[in-house]
Amino acid sequence: MAEFDFDVLVIGSGPGGYVAAIRAAQLGLRTACVESREALGGTCLNVGCIPSKALLHASELFEEAHNGTLAKFGVKTEGVSLDLSSMLAQKDEAVKGLTGGIAFLFKKNKVEWLKGHGRFTGANTVDVDGKSVTAKNIVIATGSSVTPLPGVEIDQKVVVDSTGALSLPKVPEHMVVIGGGVIGLELGSVWRRLGAKVTVVEFLDQILPGFDGEVRKETAKLFKKQGFDIKTSTKVTGVAVKGAKATVTIEPAAGGAAETIEADAVLVSIGRRPNTEGLGLEAIGLQTNNRGQIEIGHDFQTAVKGVYAIGDVVPGPMLAHKAEDEGVAVAEFIAGMTGIVNHDVIPSVVYTHPEIAGVGLTEEQAREKGAVKTGKFPMMANSRAKAISDTEGFVKVVADAETDRVLGVWMVSSVAGTMIAQAAQAMEFGATSEDIAYTCHAHPTHSEAFKEAAMAVQGKPIHM
Ligand code: FAD
Ligand code: NAD
């Protein structure tokens, strides 16, 4: 009889966990995955990336039909109205299809789904709802959940987190979004497009922390033009709910006179924190760092031999594709191969309109490290964007002043989320801005703006 029930036991079936489990099984390891949710796929598939993108797409279609954008192209629509329950049902269908797809992939690859909550009782033993399971290697992929705001109670009716904001039964008149980060702007966009007035309260002096400075400035202008009321350098000090209404009290972040805002929906989106509570880390002597994350080495192994961790529960950006790549790499390490994730080249995308994307260093970060050259090209001068009246935004390339190696790329454009893949690939191959400038790009495409921005680094853009 084998010494352990499994070679690999993964706790959590989000993009990190399910990918790790499938890759481990592909490599011939006996693998199981513990998941306490009703459906596989974690935050991303159930209440994150997928449902939010379904609603962003649907709400954009509605807005284009409703606000005259389609009419401008000669597509006349009359009596456009919103059927919110159909819109929400389509989103639920998308989620069901994709989470069911993971169950299919588990069966296909012979990954066993152990339904229930996993808790360590030893370095090789996990209790799953009362049943003890042993494994030679255990991967913690328990993800993250919403960071609560002290004094603000989430009731998922009037005061919601991102999960509640994906299923509001009616369009709010006034939604106050606490936190001008990715979730606030994406889900704020959904409800604004469907008719809500949206006020964003951001503690810092700018929205979108972590993004390039010029991108933050430009997108704040664009969101304001769309009708967002953005209050930066402002903090929420309390939310009082009475019936279906909330009174949100705000103050300047630096202190000062308080004001109140009346709202019928409040979205708390001030970040996410790693899921380690109830995991039994104390049973294996594993401690979290001061941000609640599990520290790992280059091989994703924690301080406890044979126990690995990946995804939102470890340091680094909380992104699905980063978790997925770590899932592949950890399985390969466990199988005796050299799994690799280049954490310097993880793209990041905000799926608003226009989309906002970046990879590598911001201009500010790059300048801190040494001399840089930058090249910028406005979408206004891109022929495809002009042809379809889609001219908001720009592409910026940041390169090392001496070697010309590309250090970062930042984009604001309706298709930035798709275009950024090319930038990531170029950086992964160590491209210089000249390499990109001399790569033939199809015409007319938005991607030509990337080539022109690279040419601008050399001081030689053609169309500007
Ligand atoms: P998770 O996806 O959080 O999965 C962890 C799983 O582990 C969960 O299913 C949980 O139930 C389970 N679990 C936890 N503890 C236990 C336990 N003890 N026993 C059993 N099961 C357990 N990222 C992007 O890259 N692109 C996007 O467009 C995007 N959109 C998002 C939109 C929203 C609204 C949100 C909230 C997040 C979004 N993200 C997006 C972030 C993305 O969802 C996460 O980075 C990603 O899901 C992290 O994957 P993970 O595998 O680490 O954890
Ligand atoms: P975030 O870190 O992107 O933004 C949180 C914002 O809230 C920040 O701007 C922060 O300054 C602000 N804030 C913090 N405390 C505050 C307070 N008390 N009052 C007012 N503002 C406050 O976090 P998020 O938007 O909650 O998203 C969580 C995670 O989910 C992110 O790490 C993100 O990577 C991931 N996510 C990614 C995508 C995507 O890739 N498209 C989409 C959604 C979520």
pLDDT at 184 over 70: yes
The residue whose CA is least distant from atom 47 of ligand 1 is 44
pLDDT band at 460 (very low <50, low <70, confident <90, very high): confident
- Model confidence pLDDT, tens digit, residues 294-352: 999 999 999 999 999 999 999 999 999 999 999 999 999 999 999 999 999 999 999 99
Q: Is 48 in the pocket of ligand 1 (CB under 6 A)?
A: yes
Residue whose CB lies within 8 A of the most ligand 1 atoms, among 44, 55, 119, 312, for a mutation test: 44
- Model confidence pLDDT, tens digit, residues 130-172: 999 999 999 999 999 999 999 899 999 999 999 999 999 999 9
- Model confidence pLDDT, tens digit, residues 244-297: 999 999 999 999 999 999 999 999 999 999 999 999 999 999 999 999 999 999
pLDDT band at 54 (very low <50, low <70, confident <90, very high): very high
Asked, as a colleague might, if the bond just before 354 is cis with ω within 30 of 0, I would say: yes
The residue whose CA is least distant from atom 2 of ligand 2 is 271
As a whole number of angstroms, the distance between CA 331 and CA 23 comes to 6
Q: Is 360 in the pocket of ligand 1 (CB under 6 A)?
A: no
- What per-residue confidence (pLDDT) applies to 117? 98
- What per-residue confidence (pLDDT) applies to 214? 98
As a whole number of angstroms, the distance between CA 126 and CA 134 comes to 6
CA of 179 to the centre of ligand 2 (A): 6
Cβ distance 312 to 143 under 8 Å?
yes
Annotation says 443 is catalytic = yes
pLDDT band at 1 (very low <50, low <70, confident <90, very high): low
- Model confidence pLDDT, tens digit, residues 214-230: 999 999 999 999 999 99
Same fold flag, 6-146+273-334 and 159-270: yes
Instruction: Give the CATH fold of the 348-457 domain.
Output: Enolase-like; domain 1 (3.30.390)
CA of 347 to the centre of ligand 2 (A): 16
Task: State the average pLDDT for the chain.
Answer: 97
From residue 96, alpha-carbon distances to 68, 92, 103, 206 in Å are 33, 6, 11, 37
- CATH number of the structural domain 6-146+273-334: 3.50.50.60
**Among 278, 45, 47, CA closest to 160:** 47
Q: Is 415 in the pocket of ligand 1 (CB under 6 A)?
A: no
As a whole number of angstroms, the distance between CA 322 and CA 293 comes to 15
Asked, as a colleague might, if the bond just before 444 is cis with ω within 30 of 0, I would say: yes
Domain 159-270 class?
A: alpha beta
Residue whose CB lies within 8 A of the most ligand 2 atoms, among 161, 200, 203, for a mutation test: 203
- Which residue of the set 343, 443, 446, 463 is catalytic? 443
Query: In the chain, where are the structural domains located?
Result: 6-146+273-334, 159-270, 348-457
CA of 322 to the centre of ligand 1 (A): 11
The residue whose CA is least distant from atom 35 of ligand 2 is 318
| Ligand closest to the CA atom of residue 206 | 2
- What per-residue confidence (pLDDT) applies to 2? 76
